[in-house]
Amino acid sequence: MPVPAAARHGSHILEKAADPALENNQGYVISSYSAHTRSTIGLALVRRGSERHGEEVQIWNGLRGEFMRGRVCNRNFFDPDNTKLNVEYG
């Protein structure tokens, strides 16, 4: 089963209106597929990421000339209240 198109590993995170150049690099994609959810979920290291939740960014792969839009979100967006992990041990 092919993986849907997603930001590629190593793609650079740029501010929304920034020119595509390494001087404007704000971070990079470290993972783009979740085996747990079986879907594309981009994980990136972003400069001041925890201060930028909700900000729209561009994702740029200079080697392939690819651009995507992205949004910085809380790394715990899937189950923020940990309700899925609330298990009693007995």
- Number of other CB atoms surrounding residue 32 within 10 Å: 20
Res 2: pLDDT: 36
The pLDDT, as a whole number, for residue 4 is 36
Produce one character per residue of 5-20: b if its CB has 16 or more CB atoms within 10 Å, e if not: ebbeeebbbbeeebee
Q: Which DSSP category does 56 fall into?
A: E
pLDDT in tens, 16-73: 999 999 999 999 999 887 777 777 778 899 999 889 999 999 999 988 888 889 999 8
- Confidence check: pLDDT of 89 > 60: no
pLDDT of 87 above 80: no
pTM: 0.74
Q: What residues pair up with 60 in beta bridges, in sequence order?
A: 12, 67
In angstroms, rounded to a whole number, what is the distance separating the alpha carbons of residues 41 and 86?
23
Length of the chain as a residue count = 90
